[in-house]
Structure 1
């Protein structure tokens, strides 16, 4: 039985991970009493006893715990960090198993793994295979639009929506400094910073990430089906990432994958106008957070966990 400590188990992501793991007989969850959670000595003692620590903390606190683990040397546990703190940090493995060939194995052998951001998961899933295949150049000017359920916005936003005090829809991060951009660039293969415009809607869970492209501006002037084929070739028979034919579909909603660890990718093309919109759909609390964390935990522990 693997012993896991969730540091920050009362937050949205921590609660989601805990709920998934509690039903798994292969896992023993351990925790600190409320009064000891800010005591470094008590935390260090607990960390020596567990196989893996999951950090569901603000970035500063996540770095503090990671530094504490580092002082323990071989007595310290492996770490899965769900914060933004280490996603592009040297020495950390990016926790997106489907990112490229061998990534799942790299996660399985890593001591330090950084869980991806929710928006970043959708954007990277669309961009990386196309850039790697040369269908999209790394310095192409990319615009990413996305909408998430309000559960990804933290306690204050959740409270506002639950109380009926929040708008039905709003754009945010209009200073163009969203914290997911560095990982989108690093793992999407982008040399030019994309314009990222996130938004939040008055629904609890679900996410759509969309990227519009002019086909004639891409190398070789591909057709929409070429982009779809490149995505399908990359993900093959992946258990959790699927390329879905858009057929005659002209609209898409964000909530149908809620409660799952699945990620669906679509290419909506208009060959007459030579335009496409790439769309990723996922649960921002599933493949975008807690589900992805449990998938990574399974790889790190060598267990067949079902996220």
Structure 2
């Protein structure tokens, strides 16, 4: 018994010593990197106040929210708002419009960002490269209000330069701003013009890390420029492409409110209504706070599921995911 008691005592002593060393190590770590944690503090405060704390209000999606009663005292209705939304005749139209715009952006705008980054990377004249990059970045800093205003000026009925040019070449009289068939092409072109240049920044940073010795070896072996891009450049930045693609999948139902809202009118509403604008119309203009919150919560849940799904698929193909 004495030996057993001694062993237990030694074990407890070792456990206490390990815990003491761990606490001391944590104190030393925080003391050593205290300024880095201080710099991290504003970001943590921002996410807590503006990202996590507002999630509490999402419970009104399961309540019949009455402003005079407040969130906690409003009566529970369970999944009634979700059922109303899924059985609404608006749901198929909203889902189709949102997915079509998201897929067009994913299939056209996203690859174009990579292509532009590859083209910029191949420029050898520094002045030309920097000038081109600057010109491509400038549209990103314009608000969607300015972009929409420019679009209205260019395609204005009878007086817009592009209206006159395209209709003159085709021999037609199309009102591009009101024709539902032209709404999606205009939205995609706006997105490309505004965001493509800015989106190349991450890919250019990834391209800067490609080992130049591989290019030199490929040149010695007689590989042409296209072959070097295909066999060296693209495989080297593939992890970055996969990560950006996974993040893009999480935003597939987030087509952007401001751009769509500014380009929507009574004539193209059949193809312009998406989840973002629907939440605004139902929540702000009609006061259906609980119903619009349910729609927004559905969109957020689908985004999370798509991120995890895309990340799982990337892992299955031996690619680096985001976690």
Q: TM-score range by the shorter chain?
A: under 0.3
Higher relative contact order (CA 8 A, sep 6+): 2
Q: TM-score, normalised by structure 1?
A: 0.23
Q: TM-score, normalised by structure 2?
A: 0.22
